[in-house]
Amino acid sequence: MPAIVLFDGDCNFCDASVQFILNRDTTGNFHFASLQGEAGQTLRERHRIIDSVDSIVLIREGVPYIKSDAAVRIAEGLDGNWRWLRFVRFVPKPIRDFGYDVIAKHRYEWFGQKQTCKLPTPEERSRFLDQQSKPPTQ
């Protein structure tokens, strides 16, 4: 079962991150749902993820990860040399999350908000849960 990445659908940086993952995940390890969408809301409720979470969320095998834990686990699942980022786990979590929080706090200011979105290809569309008719299973 693919892992699910929940992201802020209004954030340019978050959208660019999703595009980055799509371009480096040729095996389809990751599916996606915006935090604002119906599938994202369903998954947030199911996993008791607070509404005010200011983070990308990774749900893998029914376990939610947030902030730097999510980012590192996503990097581990990408094609190419991105797996080396697993060594970032050895940096203490408070330090990793501090860096994550700085970017998250300023993401709209630094990267802006989405006014329009890139239309996914049919292949990409199948990986977005909000584009599917059945509810998410994780």
Q: What is the pLDDT of residues 12-32, one digit of tens each?
A: 778 889 999 999 999 999 999
Beta strands at 57-60 and 63-66: parallel, antiparallel or unpaired: antiparallel
2-14: buried (b, 16+ CB within 10 Å) or exposed (e) per residue? Answer: bbbbbbbbbbbbb
Q: pLDDT value at position 137?
A: 67
Measure the CA angle with vertex 127, ends 123 and 128; round to 5°: 115
User: Per-residue pLDDT averaged across 99-114, rounded?
Assistant: 80
Domain locations in the chain? 3-131
The answer to whether residues 7 and 32 touch, using CB atoms and an 8 Å cutoff, is: yes
Band (pLDDT 50/70/90 cuts) for residue 94 is: very high
